[in-house]
């Protein structure tokens, strides 16, 4: 589900509540961020803002369109307060494990992108899959998420959308799937 305006927040909130209050000891949340790709052309986008926050939970996958939501904040300041409270409950929970590949870089980018949102500055229980020992996998400096998936699950990942134009709206069907 794409979370792109305040009408999407109740469904997103319900999924977070299920994770936090109904199965907190078994809640693992996948986190990934997307932003305008750096093309190495001297553009300033090497530090571009996070456009999309992907959150995968047992009760659904949510594409939180931060770019669109934050553009709406100028018209509806309460939206930022609501979004910060929702994400703050999830990110600030010590019992809900937030996992991702190089998740620390994603969290740093979120914090830098949205300095006025406390939820991105108080993240608890984050686990970086790139730093966890992997039994049966040879150590390599160039371990990627796709290589990790191939080694552990026997199937690599399709990363063709990794450098797509995440800042353009609407998102394409390929980006959403």
Taking only the tens place, the pLDDT of each residue in 42-59 is: 555 557 899 999 999 988
Q: What integer pLDDT is reported at residue 126 of this predicted model?
A: 93
Task: For residue 129, name the pLDDT band (cuts at 50, 70, 90).
Answer: confident
CA–CA separation, 101 and 91 (whole Å)? 16
CA–CA separation, 48 and 113 (whole Å)? 8
Q: What integer pLDDT is reported at residue 176 of this predicted model?
A: 87
* CATH class of residue range 2-176: alpha beta
Q: How do the domains of the chain map onto residue ranges?
A: 2-176
Percent of the chain at pLDDT exceeding 90: 52
Q: What integer pLDDT is reported at residue 75 of this predicted model?
A: 86
Q: What integer pLDDT is reported at residue 150 of this predicted model?
A: 64
Check if the beta carbon of residue 18 is closer than 8 Å to that of residue 93: no
Question: Tokens representing 72?
Answer: 């709406």
pTM, full prediction: 0.84
List % helix, strand, coil for the chain (3-state, nearest 5). Answer: 45, 15, 40
CA–CA separation, 82 and 20 (whole Å)? 17
Q: What integer pLDDT is reported at residue 46 of this predicted model?
A: 58
Q: What integer pLDDT is reported at residue 31 of this predicted model?
A: 95
In the chain, the largest separation of any two C-alpha atoms, in whole Å, equals 53
CA-CA distances (angstroms) from residue 139 to 22, 102, 105, 149, 166? 38, 16, 21, 14, 32
Nearest to 113 by CA among 33, 40, 12, 5: 33
The residues with which 22 forms a beta bridge, in sequence order, are: none
């Amino acid at each position: 589900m794409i979370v792109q305006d305040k009408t999407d927040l109740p469904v997103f909130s319900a999924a977070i509540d299920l994770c936090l209050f109904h199965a907190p000891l078994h809640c693992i949340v996948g986190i990934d961020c997307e932003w305008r790709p750096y093309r190495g052309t001297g553009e300033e986008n090497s530090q571009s803002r996070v456009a999309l926050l992907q959150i995968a939970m047992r009760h659904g996958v949510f594409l939180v369109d931060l770019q669109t939501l934050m553009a709406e904040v100028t018209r509806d300041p309460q939206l930022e307060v609501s979004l910060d409270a929702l994400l703050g409950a999830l990110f600030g929970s010590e019992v809900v494990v937030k996992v991702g590949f190089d998740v620390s870089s994603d969290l740093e980018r979120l914090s830098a992108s949205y300095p006025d949102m406390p939820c991105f500055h108080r993240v608890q229980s984050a686990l970086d899959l790139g730093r966890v020992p992997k039994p049966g996998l040879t150590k390599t400096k160039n371990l990627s998420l796709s290589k990790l998936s191939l080694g552990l699950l026997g199937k690599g990942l399709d990363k063709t959308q990794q450098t797509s134009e995440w800042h353009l709206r609407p998102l394409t069907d390929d980006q959403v799937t």
